[in-house]
Amino acid sequence: MKLSSAEISHFRVALLISATLLPGWAGFAAGRAVAVDQVGYTCVGPKFVFAVEAADSFSVISVSTASVVFRSGITLWKSLDGATGRAVYRGDFSVLQTAGSYRVVTSHGDSSSAFTISDTVYAAAFRKALKGFYFQRCGMPLLPLYAGVYQHPACHMNDGIFHSTSDSAGQSHNAQGGWHDAGDYGKYVVNAGISVGTLLLAYEMFPSRFSSDDLGIPESGNGVPDILDEARYELEWFLKMQRADGAFWFKLTRTQFENFIMPQNDSGARYIYQVSTTATGDAAAVLAKAARLFAPFNQTFALTCLDAARRAWQYLAANQAIVPAGGFKNPSDTGTGEYGDSDDADERLWASSELFETTGELAYNTYFLSQYVTASKFSGAMWWGDVRSLALLTYLRSTQAAADANAKNTLRQALNAYCISQVTKRNDSGYQVVTAPGEYYWGSNSGALNAAVLLLAGFAETGESTYVKVAADQLHYVLGTNGFARSYVTGLCENPPRQPHHRPSASDGIAEPVPGLIVGGPNQFRSGDAVLDAIINSGTAPALCYADTVASYASNEIAINWNAPLVFVAGYFHAVDGPDAVGERQMDRPSKFLLEQNYPNPFNPTTKIQFTIVNRQVTIVKVYDLLGREVSTPVNEVKEPGRYTLEFDGSGLASGVYLYRLQVRPLDSAIGRDSKSGAGDFVQTKKLLILK
């Protein structure tokens, strides 16, 4: 993450010279005076332009014809925006719904970057952000077919050696694979936990938006959504980081950050550090979630994940106090990422929530209910140091019959209150971002995006469309509607980061950095960053504490836990169904009927059957023996659109193969009529196996 003292001194001198030559220097460039989302907007939905110079009006100009297609007034929005220290003017061009490429020009003569209006405008942003994880892969060659000019041989094939503070000190252990964590080449279970968890949450909440299988990674076309394939690459590494007793080793890094070299040239010893309960809790949660999501695609892998999650929980149950005492701290010889956290209660809560949702077992439910009552409830967006909101969200959305209705209602109210607070913060902001002065910390861009994740969850729970609009504003912010009028994502827009703190991008000899990676963004606290110290003083506004240079690790580094919510939010908005658009989309509606493979299978005596309903229709699930005799009808009722989980109890049946069938009929059909399919019915059948 950081640089050597010699490198820092070099950059400090260069920046001091630049600051002298450029009066009013803040960051490297203040960007254009007119800010828009440089990716663009969907055809229907809110569209705002922001300017820092007073003007009477603004015009939207077609890039292709140079003609004015829309003109309106621009008015003072905030006389003093606390985050940027400026007056901010705002114009509204939401009524422009014609697809095309445009620029905005104000009557003052200032102009914006180019942007697009299209119903698929965020498709490239979503795909690049998700593929950014592929470019972070460790332990495999990135081939030209998938990586293009960013290809490189396999790296770190000797991972790793147990550190002297760990068990089995000095011995080797195969921990190849996984993702490089950030701008460095380390691998950390804690930060990977929230990263994978966010990707899996995106697919679980909105499967129709994240089901594409054509991203251009080695696994594309295998019938598994690429977001799950990419998550699995990291999950396979998780499994290598689990000790025999269920605990997870904390990280795998060098003792000090490597130089700015390509990963295949990093030949130094890389160490596996001691186990920790924060890492174990995160891993248990993510693996339990993975078990239920991968079950329809690969039951063997799903069962492997569930077994690892159970063993992790057993370790947590046997070690009630945080391990190591006081939380993980770097040994004296180590200077790589510490991810210090002295409280593992949130990780344990998350693990219990995910294990309960996957298994339905009483012990996990009991633990969650005993602990969540004393915890804060949606008091803030999740980050690697506090995953409580992920735990609460999973329980709130639980499909388990044993989930406590009162607890879910309490959580729904708390989530709604959080969303209301974010609407207020958005309305107080000059650029409609929920990040307030005092909150521009290391990785502040991810704070806005993680808030957007919760806003979208709030919309799914309450139907309040304002929450979707505020979530969209956070995407607009990182793509251009900010104090620099720039994109914070590499390879996206007219003015993206060009010098991220990212070792491959800085050492591959290619002019443009690896695409699809979001940088941390403004950091008013500087965090020991010599670049920021050189160009920022006490009068610099919080949202302007940023520099697009390799040396600024505290504002311009990339990280997997920042990319994950970008994937979630861009993926949610990347395709528009019919007339709905950003800010106007209705609750996610499944796009097709589906009967999934039961899990576990074989089973004794219970298994889960998941199915998806597109419209409000009569829904029937029946189980038959191989002679075609009906043995059970667990579902026969009208159901709303959605994805359902049925727990089937086969305790009254003999061992053997059975058929289960989903039949969906138009609403005018009578419940309980003859089960022969009729016109307009959907019918799908699968096999299940009872072994006693």
Catalytic residues: 184, 501, 548, 557
| C-alpha radius of gyration, the chain, whole number | 26
505-509 contact pairs (CB < 8 A, 24+):
506/260, 506/550, 507/260, 507/261, 507/262, 508/150, 508/152, 508/262
Report helix, strand or coil for 544. helix
Q: Kindly give the residue spans of alpha helices, DSSP state H, lying in 66-163.
A: 123-135, 144-147
Return the closest-CA partner of residue 190 out of 160, 230, 234: 234
Provide the b/e sequence for 639-658 (b: ≥16 CB within 10 Å). Answer: beeebbbbebebeebeeeeb
Q: How far is CA 678 from CA 416, 671, 683, in A?
A: 43, 13, 10
Any idea which residue has 């996990």 for tokens? Answer: 364
Residues 137, 292: Cα–Cα separation, whole Å: 24
Do 28 and 548 touch, CB atoms closer than 8 A?
yes
549-552 contact pairs (CB < 8 A, 24+):
549/11, 549/15, 549/28, 549/499, 550/260, 550/499, 550/500, 550/501, 550/502, 550/506, 551/3, 551/7, 551/8, 551/11, 551/501, 552/501
Do 122 and 39 touch, CB atoms closer than 8 A?
yes
Residues 225, 204: Cα–Cα separation, whole Å: 12
Residues 419, 377: Cα–Cα separation, whole Å: 12
Return the closest-CA partner of residue 475 out of 511, 518, 513: 518
Q: Which two tokens stand for residue 118?
A: 């299209």
Return the closest-CA partner of residue 461 out of 500, 419, 510: 419
Q: Kindly give the residue spans of alpha helices, DSSP state H, lying in 2-77.
A: 5-21
Residues 296, 582: Cα–Cα separation, whole Å: 31
* Number of C-beta neighbours around residue 320 at 10 A: 9
Residues 581, 43: Cα–Cα separation, whole Å: 7
Q: Kindly give the residue spans of alpha helices, DSSP state H, lying in 206-329.
A: 226-240, 277-294, 299-318
Backbone angles phi, psi at 609, to 5 degrees: -120, 120
Q: Secondary structure of 454-487 in the HEC alphabet? A: HHHHHHHHHCCCHHHHHHHHHHHHHCCCCCCCCC
